[in-house]
Structure 1
Amino acid sequence: MHYLWLSVLCALVVITRPLDSAATPFAPNWNNMHTKHRWNAIPGKWESIGQPPVGITIDLRIALKPHCEHALTDAIYEVSNPNHPKHVLFFVPPPTQVTLLRCRYGAYLSKEQVAKLVAPHPYTLEVVEAWLRHHGVSPSNVSTTHGGNWLTVTGVPVSKANELLGASYQLYRYAGTNETILRTVGYALPVALHTHVQTVAPTTYFGSPLTPRERPRGHRVSALSTRDDHVTPAVLRSLYNSVTYQPAATEQNMIGVTGFSGQYVSDEDLELFMALFRSDANDPTFLVIDVNDSGYDPSKPGSEANLDMQYTQGMAWPTPHVFYSMGGVAEEFIPDSFIPVNTNEPFLGWLEVMTRLEDLPQTISTSYGGDEQTFPRDYATSVCELFGQLGARGISVLFASGDEGVGGGDCRKNDGTGVVQFQPGFPATCPWVTSVGGTMRRPEVAAPFSSGGFSNVFKRPIYQTDAVLGFFEQLGKQHAGLYNASSRGFPDVSAQARRFTIIHDNEFMFLRGTSCSTPVVAGIISLLNDYQLSKNRPVLGFLNPWLYGTAIQGFNDITSGSNPGCGTDGFSAVPGWDPVTGLGTPDFQRLLDLLPNPIPTN
């Protein structure tokens, strides 16, 4: 079994014995290309609109494989699992056993420590740099990003990118929109690089943002209906038992909200929302961090951004907030310019900023994603590992599970086989994030649109074993062959997700979707972190080992409802965890009593 100390040693030790392949002058055949990833056809709803103009450049991101494959995984479990052994056995050749008496839970890693864990072997850097030099890429255009195991190559002419990657970059437009991106349906790498490079981006990812389903009613602020099924912060705080808690560590605690696809927050809408629904709140404000020249403009608010900020504020005020405004996604294009500004992957561009910052919010809420199968496997794995880096640093990362039940559309696999299969969503299936599903009504039942199921990329994590096996005992053979029974199940938890009242452009709007439930759960987690900080305890960090352990008793089990899709009734909510509502909805006071209180030993 690997432990953090062994992992750190593995990452720091310099291998003195030369690698066999490095013992002789290095001269690989750069023309011996092997496909890394290729679609059989252009992914659905995208269409090619031709070659980009001559002279267009692209920034490439290259994920390098780490020297120690399991070091980061081991570290995450050690610092995130309250039940991890306090006595860690560490073996050093020659066989000498050293017993370290220390509680690892809550001893989160610094940015520099994480970088050492994920660092590639020096030989990996050598071979990749040799490849780039062979193609005339200047070292001044290459930098290290994303915690140390990614290279960013800036200003690469598209013609050069095609040569490097055996690709054919074209401009693609999403049907019925002006969203235009620069992508290729396939790319390759020299055989010599396949053991060193995990993925290259942007290449074959044709994603789109997940946004809530909007139900505008057109009522002015002065004419809100008195119907009792409207969801507001007061309803949620009462339902999830957090009304009486008063945050006490606001100088230390912070919650982050992400905004992609040109989604901005209106300060005026937020102020009015809080005046109406959190009358005790004074001066609700937030810090804006503009990522990749998003063009942040609060005078042009998005309903998604307003929803996310209004409900994290509504749940967690006066906890300080930061809004990450991410550019490069779903930009409007002028048809005659064809400037591919959307060449940065939405999550990679954001994660590049996050992994280089020293100070991060302890809780982050994100309501975006797409079908897992639209993300190339290597790309999804690499992005997931970056979320793992945040977890190792003590950050709770929450993602909406999606709004398509077990799958939208015809649910056919996009590998050319046409096989019907339930369609999980990513990043919700990443084992290093906490995925949030949806419920509705009071008493609560599963929302039929709540996405849930099982990944086709990520194996089932250890923390989920008992819960998922318990569900399979109740499921029996239903839906056999439509899902991967050995993989990561999602969502992890859930919350109300229907008829959310927001203020948008000075009007009431009613929304539904897991984009609604995610900021609610994020607000609850932020309050729990506030309590931990007020008691000089470590924050919760990566949540899932605690959620599936001690914290199970702090959730309201949802046992009715289902998430139909793909021509089926989908999965059903049952006692215990299920792939519709996860472990259930949070009860703040019960969770407060179940918070870990680690006592380090020397």
Structure 2
Amino acid sequence: MSQSFLVSLCIVALSFGVHGRQTTVTPKPRFVPLRPAAATSSVELTLGLPATNIEGLHAALYDVSDPKSANYGRHLSKAEVEAFVAPKPDSVQAVNDWLAQHDVHPEVISPSGDMLRINIPVPKANALLGANFTVFKDQHSGTTLVRTLSVTIPDDVDSHLQFMYPTTQFIMPVNQSPRFEAVNPPKASTRRQSLPSICSVDVDPECLEDFYHIPTAPANASGNSLAVSGYLNEIASEDDLEISFLAFRPDVTTTPEFSVVSVDGGVTSGSGTLEASLDIQYTVGIATGVPTTFYSVGNPFADGFIDLVNFLLAQDELPLVLTTSYGFNESDFTGAEALAESFCNAYAQLGARGTSVFFCSGDNGVYSFSFNSLCDATDFGPTFPSTCPFLTSVGGTQGFSPEVAASFSGGGFSNMFARPDYQAAAVDSYLTRLGGQFAGLFNQSGRAFPDVSAQSVDFITRISGGSSALNDITSGSNPGCGAQGFPTMDGWDPVTGLGTPDYEKLLALVTGLGA
């Protein structure tokens, strides 16, 4: 039945008579076709246009990010970034003319104009793309999604279109909540003196401040700001944050507040959920006095991540930090490399304007986000966007005496993005010492991750209902669910990166006091 259904899709697609470059995919067996998308329904598609000078943006980003450069810290203006990524006029004309022939009128959704969005009835989408949009079910998550197995882009439009999503891409958001158990919270008291003994059992904000030498005094620099992104209907609660501060930051007399901004219809209120509560209670709990905003994004798919970046890029003032605890499997972008590149370039725009972007490296060791219980993967699986070279990927550690690698810390090498020059020396040294171990299981020339790491287990959370400035981690590995994983070593490694932060040393390094 399934085979005859797929054959009928091909026949219908050919009947539309669209001529041009055809892309046809065979999805993973987990995606099962259910029925053709209803003619009365519509599809929302994002179109990416090639940037005018993306190499120039990359060069500018590296220039302002290199401490050895005379332009270090001299971030680009909003207009300067937009000039690099704005599409060429002939691309805009070609795409708009093509859409107009079908009476489709796009909305510009990015500040530079390099991304458009259309919302059209299914029959019109099928005619436009020579497609047959179908409802599929992901047997792993139970999620249904509308995709097509084939699209055709006219020859005179193809070179002017970077990507169109979602069409043939079966990219699923990772829904992997932190593992937890209920514990009795400590009683409120004055600031504790014996942190090492307490932190041997659980981790709270005071443990991290003490161990990583993070100052407890409120930050007073002008322009300080921090953004936390949330997906999958996650939300944090002010009440939970207040109780958390009473227990874990008794030295702070007034509990700081955080703002909530909705993107794509994200939730803005409700009982605190696990991931959002963890993220907010530890960002606000450690970055004392830093204004923090929680961005609740209603769309957990790839275009939702891009929508958040475009929302931020449209602002005149950006947060200094954007941190995200969600991600994708890089392998899901196979065949959609142009989408991954555009995704990555969006973060490059944020970086060029002065926002430090942080992503988790993953929770299943070398086996990406969503391994199966059999651990029968034929190679190591990198995560995304951690493999994007324009952001900072953060791995996991555990314990304090000593601090060692967490076995689930995601890490490895990209199969899509080449290793950037700034990683060459550290990663080449690791690979030399690794020798031929795991040969064929990973791409030795790929972007290596994570970059750094931090504590990642035993966090107490309240829920209603330069390498000289880092602590090198040299014990542990990241087998995930399997029997093998990359070992930690002196210097950089694909388990903990360059190590965990020491705030005092980092401050001296970036201000030149350590010279």
1:574 is the counterpart of 2:489: yes
1:554-593 to 2 correspondence within 5 Å?
554-565=469-480, 567-593=482-508
Within 1, Cα distance between the matches of 2:140 and 2:418?
Answer: 36
Amino acid corresponding to residue 343 of structure 2 in structure 1: V
Q: Which residue of 2 aligns with 1:363?
A: 321
Within 2, Cα distance between the matches of 1:106 and 1:201?
Answer: 35
Q: Which residue of 2 aligns with 1:452?
A: 411
Q: Give 1:369 shift.
A: 0.5
1:81 is the counterpart of 2:40: no
**Distance change (3 Å), C-alpha of 1:202 and 1:461:** same
Q: Which residue of 2 aligns with 1:190?
A: 154
**CA contact 1:146–1:351 (8 Å) conserved in 2:** no
Q: Which residue of 2 aligns with 1:461?
A: 420
Q: Which residue of 1 aligns with 2:172?
A: 207
1:19-168 to 2 correspondence within 5 Å?
31-36=18-23, 38-41=24-27, 43=28, 45-84=30-69, 103-138=70-105, 141-145=106-110, 147-153=112-118, 155-168=119-132
Q: Give 1:186 shift.
A: 4.0
**CA contact 1:406–1:564 (8 Å) conserved in 2:** yes
Amino acid corresponding to residue 380 of structure 1 in structure 2: A
Structure 2 residue aligned with 1:386, among 306, 330, 346? 346
Within 2, Cα distance between the matches of 1:114 and 1:275?
Answer: 43
Within 2, Cα distance between the matches of 1:239 and 1:557?
Answer: 14
Q: Which residue of 1 aligns with 2:464?
A: 505
Amino acid corresponding to residue 348 of structure 1 in structure 2: I
Q: Secondary structure at the match of 1:488?
A: strand
Q: Secondary structure at the match of 1:422?
A: coil
Q: Which residue of 1 aligns with 2:289?
A: 318
Normalising by structure 2, we get a TM-score of: 0.88
1:280 is the counterpart of 2:251: yes
Task: Please say which of residues 476-485 and 62-71 is displaced more in the overlay.
Answer: 62-71
Within 2, Cα distance between the matches of 1:178 and 1:264?
Answer: 23
Amino acid corresponding to residue 587 of structure 1 in structure 2: D
Q: Give 1:360 shift.
A: 1.5
**CA contact 1:82–1:596 (8 Å) conserved in 2:** no
Q: Give 1:130 shift.
A: 1.7
Q: Secondary structure at the match of 2:162?
A: strand
Within 1, Cα distance between the matches of 2:85 and 2:73?
Answer: 20
**CA contact 1:211–1:304 (8 Å) conserved in 2:** no
Q: Give the unaligned 5+ runs of structure 1.
A: 1-29, 85-102, 330-341, 507-550
1:527-566 to 2 correspondence within 5 Å?
551-565=466-480
**CA contact 1:491–1:581 (8 Å) conserved in 2:** yes
**CA contact 2:216–2:286 (8 Å) conserved in 1:** no
Q: CA RMSD in A?
A: 2.7
Q: Give 1:59 shift.
A: 2.4
Structure 2 residue aligned with 1:347, among 290, 293, 305? 305
Within 1, Cα distance between the matches of 2:377 and 2:255?
Answer: 54
Q: Give 1:567 shift.
A: 4.2
Within 2, Cα distance between the matches of 1:45 and 1:305?
Answer: 29
**CA contact 1:210–1:370 (8 Å) conserved in 2:** no
Render the CA deviation track for 1:231-290: whole Å, top value 9, x for unaligned: 1111111110114554121x4201000010000111111110111101123132111111
Q: Give the unaligned 5+ runs of structure 2.
A: 1-16, 189-196
**Distance change (3 Å), C-alpha of 1:239 and 1:226:** closer
**CA contact 1:368–1:399 (8 Å) conserved in 2:** yes
**Distance change (3 Å), C-alpha of 1:144 and 1:312:** closer
Q: Give 1:501 shift.
A: 0.7
Within 2, Cα distance between the matches of 1:439 and 1:303?
Answer: 20
Amino acid corresponding to residue 89 of structure 2 in structure 1: P
Within 1, Cα distance between the matches of 2:325 and 2:163?
Answer: 25
Q: Which residue of 1 aligns with 2:182?
A: 217
**CA contact 1:562–1:573 (8 Å) conserved in 2:** yes
Within 2, Cα distance between the matches of 1:294 and 1:178?
Answer: 21
1:492 is the counterpart of 2:451: yes
Structure 1 residue aligned with 2:389, among 396, 410, 431? 431
**CA contact 1:209–1:260 (8 Å) conserved in 2:** no
Higher relative contact order (Cα pairs below 8 Å, separated by 6+ residues): 1
Amino acid corresponding to residue 116 of structure 2 in structure 1: L
Q: Give 1:179 shift.
A: 3.5
**Distance change (3 Å), C-alpha of 1:146 and 1:211:** farther
Amino acid corresponding to residue 354 of structure 2 in structure 1: G
Render the CA deviation track for 1:136-168: whole Å, top value 9, x for unaligned: 213xx4325253311222x21122222223333
**CA contact 2:178–2:275 (8 Å) conserved in 1:** no
Aligned length: 484
Amino acid corresponding to residue 371 of structure 2 in structure 1: G
Q: Give 1:351 shift.
A: 1.8
Amino acid corresponding to residue 396 of structure 1 in structure 2: S
Within 2, Cα distance between the matches of 1:565 and 1:214?
Answer: 14
Structure 2 residue aligned with 1:259, among 230, 234, 243? 230
**CA contact 2:216–2:288 (8 Å) conserved in 1:** no
Structure 1 residue aligned with 2:436, among 466, 477, 481? 477
